[in-house]
Structure 1
Amino acid sequence: MAARKPRTLLESELTCPHCGFVSIEVMPTNACIYFHECAGCKTLLKPKPGDCCVFCSYGSVKCPPIQEARDCCSKGNA
């Protein structure tokens, strides 16, 4: 019997590093989110060096491509 592939999570809690505001966001499966405006303080979040998107930097769950161990669309470009 083949092992079941873990289900990809599509919701992540983004936490603003500036004000601590937490928002629950739905992650797209076909695009990277490079920028996100914090609803609390209006700071424009961008990925940390080495991360592909804001979810990998500030989210409770990594983006779908990283969860699925495949190349992210911005790998090496962040």
Structure 2
Amino acid sequence: MSAVILESTITCPNCGHAETETMSTDACWYFYECKTCGTLLKPKPGDCCVFCSYGSVKCPPIQQQGSCCGG
């Protein structure tokens, strides 16, 4: 099993701003506010968190088990 990557770059679909964030290993981020335009990002249907929808790397639970954080 490969190591879990904890940094992911979230890209805002509204303005294109990209910000690298460190992901939690025990909780998902359901909301993320773009630091440039203020758009509140929410997971796309079928995704468990904003990292899975807008990040360069999926969240740690998906990387480890392939199942969503919330269940």
TM-score (norm 2): 0.94
Structure 2 Cα separation of the partners of residues 46 and 28 of structure 1: 17
Give 5+ residue unaligned stretches, structure 2.
none
Structure 2 Cα separation of the partners of residues 7 and 37 of structure 1: 28
**Over alpha carbons, which structure has the higher Rg?**
1
Per the alignment, residue 28 of structure 1 pairs with 24
> How many aligned residue pairs are there?
71
Query: What amino acid is the match of 1:56?
Result: C
1:26-73 CA-to-partner distances (Å, cap 9, x unmatched) read 000000100000001000000000000000000000000000124323
What percentage of aligned pairs have identical amino acids?
63
Structure 1 ranges of 4+ moved more than 3 A: none
**Equivalent residues of 2:61, 2:67 under 8 A apart:** yes
TM-score (norm 1): 0.86
Give 5+ residue unaligned stretches, structure 1.
none
1:1-78 superposed matches below 5 A:
5-75=1-71
Over aligned residues, Cα RMSD in angstroms?
1.0
